[in-house]
């Protein structure tokens, strides 16, 4: 496989992922963005913890969809993420969300 073929494949996969996101975003109530992943979910619980002076975030999500081009199954029942980086959690509007 040439680098051009690989680039074309990745571009097609990214477009397919965006289309899937566009189709499922209205099924979820929250967006969670960590330093490594982007999630849609219907329930999220974040606890700020510390251990030995280090602060970290312990996030649990239920009924989630993971933005990851390389995952064969993006829908997951439960996800737990522990990170030392900032976390952004947003509640999606209850009115119909339109993605361009």
State pLDDT tens for residues 54-92: 999 999 999 999 999 888 889 999 999 999 988 999 999
Count of structural domains, the chain: 1
State pLDDT tens for residues 20-56: 999 999 999 999 999 999 999 999 999 999 988 899 9
- Whether 19 maps to a domain, the answer reads yes
Instruction: Output the pTM of the full model.
Output: 0.81
Taking alpha carbons only, the member of 69, 68, 66 closest to residue 10 is: 69
How far apart, in whole angstroms, are the C-alpha atoms of residue 17 and residue 15?
A: 5
- Whether 65 maps to a domain, the answer reads yes
- Whether 100 maps to a domain, the answer reads no
How far apart, in whole angstroms, are the C-alpha atoms of residue 1 and residue 14?
A: 18
> Which domain, by its residues, includes 74?
3-91
- Whether 40 maps to a domain, the answer reads yes
């Amino acid at each position: 496989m040439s680098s051009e073929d690989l680039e074309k494949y990745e571009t097609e996969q990214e477009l397919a992922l965006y289309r899937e996101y566009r189709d499922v975003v209205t099924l979820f109530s929250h967006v969670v963005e960590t330093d490594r992943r982007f999630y849609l979910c219907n329930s999220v619980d974040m606890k700020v913890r510390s251990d030995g002076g280090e602060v970290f975030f312990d996030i649990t999500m239920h009924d989630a969809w993971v933005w990851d081009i390389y995952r064969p199954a993006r829908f997951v029942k439960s996800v737990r993420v522990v990170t030392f980086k900032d976390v952004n959690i947003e509640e999606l509007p209850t009115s119909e969300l339109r993605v361009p």
